[in-house]
Amino acid sequence: MKKWLFLLGILILALSLFVGCEEETTEAIGTPRNLSVSVAGNDSLSIELDWDAPLEGTAAKYLVYFDNVLIDSVDAPATAMELTPTTLGDYRVSAVSDDDEESDKSSAVSTDVVAFMSQGPVYWISDPSPTHPSAFGWNDDGSGTTYSASEANQAHIDFYIDADFDIASPSRTSWSNPNTTGMKLAATGYDNLKIADVSGYGDYEDIVDGGTYLFWVQDAYYVKLQISGYDAVNHNITFKYAFQTVPGYRRLGDN
């Protein structure tokens, strides 16, 4: 009987130690989800990062990284942060548990501009060749395509070259539902153009050889563009550009 009671006591002690260990074990903290970036602030030079809490574990705070360097933190349950950066780059967020365990970093979101060289040529709308495109349009990812300047393509066109050899907004045409694009000749050179202007945009501009332009396209994207090739005889241009993929965000370069 005494031996049986001794063995029962050992079993109860072992079970209590096992249960105690189970209670002290914490669930691994998961990675924040669905990180996104949007423009913020009255001057459109701030950004807001938004994300969803991890599915695994409970976050005590979140760490915000810029180009993989820790820059700030926010206490849970908040899942947003507003920043006013002066440089462009990639943001990631991680979660930290109550016992200071840090999760993996989230997928990145970026404020970098998307740059393309040697675009075009785009010809004036009076060019007689049907194979010479007279219009250009940007996609939301910053890529661009030349188009025939026709109403059939109006949904894709952000500017065309008119019969006076000007850069013009599609809103100047008689098409049924054209896009509206604002444009202006910039006061500074392409490389020094860091922030897009708030105002002063028109619906056409003269073409200047080597000129730098600012564009505001209908979905609120800002673009800087420089004419790199100017053919006044055959009436066409080639150009390079940098496209800010965060809608409404005016920063186009690092300060």
What domains can be seen in the chain, in order of their start residue? 33-110 (2.60.40.10), 113-244 (no CATH)
5: pLDDT confidence band, cut at 50, 70 and 90? Answer: very low
pLDDT over 90 at 121, yes or no = yes
Q: What is the pLDDT of residues 174-203, one digit of tens each?
A: 999 999 999 999 999 999 999 999 999 999
| pLDDT, the chain, mean | 92
Residue 156 CB partners (closer than 8 Å, separation 6+): 137, 145, 147
Q: Which residues contact 27 (CB under 8 A, 6 or more apart)?
A: 56, 57
Considering the entire predicted model, what is its pTM?
A: 0.88
Q: For 198-232, what is each residue's pLDDT tens digit?
A: 999 999 999 999 999 999 999 899 999 999 999 99
